[in-house]
Amino acid sequence: MTRHQKRLSAPASWPVERKTSVYTVKAGAGPHGNSGVPLLIILRDVLQYVTSAKEADYALRSRSIMINGRVVTDPRRSVGMFDILAFLDRNEYYRIFPDSGGRLNLTPISPEAATSKLSKITGKSQLSPQLIQLALHNGTTLTVPNPTEYYVGDSLITDNETGDIVAHFPYKEGALVTVIGGSHAGEIGILKTISVRPGSFANVVEVKTDADTFDTVEKYIVVIDEKFTGGGS
């Protein structure tokens, strides 16, 4: 299997120039699937901390680069929405957040904020009468006691070290949300209405921002809190 990705056919969320050359690195297996951006692209094309794959390998061998609290040494490791990227030797911390064009963007955050990450609940199943498994947007799962207060569409903040849930943002009208896909990707506003469609039709939501009100499909919405609207929190 090829280790390269044609730039023109790279996912729209990848922050790469499309016409500077034919190929770029292909993401390795990881929790974000095709939407994840290889760490090499972040290091070389976005932050410009390295100029080549060889330099990236050398930087990663220092074991000072972390994703969600874990040391990373593979330059093809995928980085995705809401991941926490830490450069310990530089004392720099970033949250991966969508920009106005839907591309993944690095938002600077404080060291305190880098100790936990946000995830959207995308599925829910019962493991036993006592346990519920929650599927998250990044491909990971959490097991919680049954009955539970968590539902599909809710967002959770989990501690990177322990995996414990430290905050819960319910998916409901009046919630603060960000849009992660479609023509309104990157916009932040208040969830005004949720319209449930019959059958296989996607549910539609109405979002009000400071400048506009628009409709989008439910899967593009992630509930956040005020800390995610600024960089330093």
Task: Dump pLDDT digits (tens) for 181-193.
Answer: 888 988 999 999 9
Task: Taking residues 73-77, report their average pLDDT.
Answer: 91
Supply 223's token pair: 């509930």
* Domain span(s) for CATH 2.40.50.740 in the chain: 115-169
At the top level of CATH, the class of 176-227 is: mainly beta
- Strand-pair partners of 113: none
Task: Taking residues 52-78, report their average pLDDT.
Answer: 94
Residue 157's pLDDT is 96
Rounded Cα distance between 132 and 187, Å, is 32
Residue 56's pLDDT is 94
Residue 33's pLDDT is 65
Fold of 115-169: OB fold (Dihydrolipoamide Acetyltransferase, E2P) (2.40.50)
Q: What is the mean pLDDT of the chain?
A: 86
* Domain span(s) for CATH 3.10.290.10 in the chain: 4-111
Strands across the sheet containing 188-195: 213-217, 204-208, 188-195, 176-179, 221-223
CATH of 4-111, one of 2.40.50.100, 3.30.540.10, 3.90.1150.10, 3.10.290.10: 3.10.290.10
Task: Dump pLDDT digits (tens) for 115-169.
Answer: 999 999 999 999 999 999 999 998 899 999 999 999 999 999 999 999 999 999 9
Q: Taking the model in full, what pTM does it have? A: 0.84
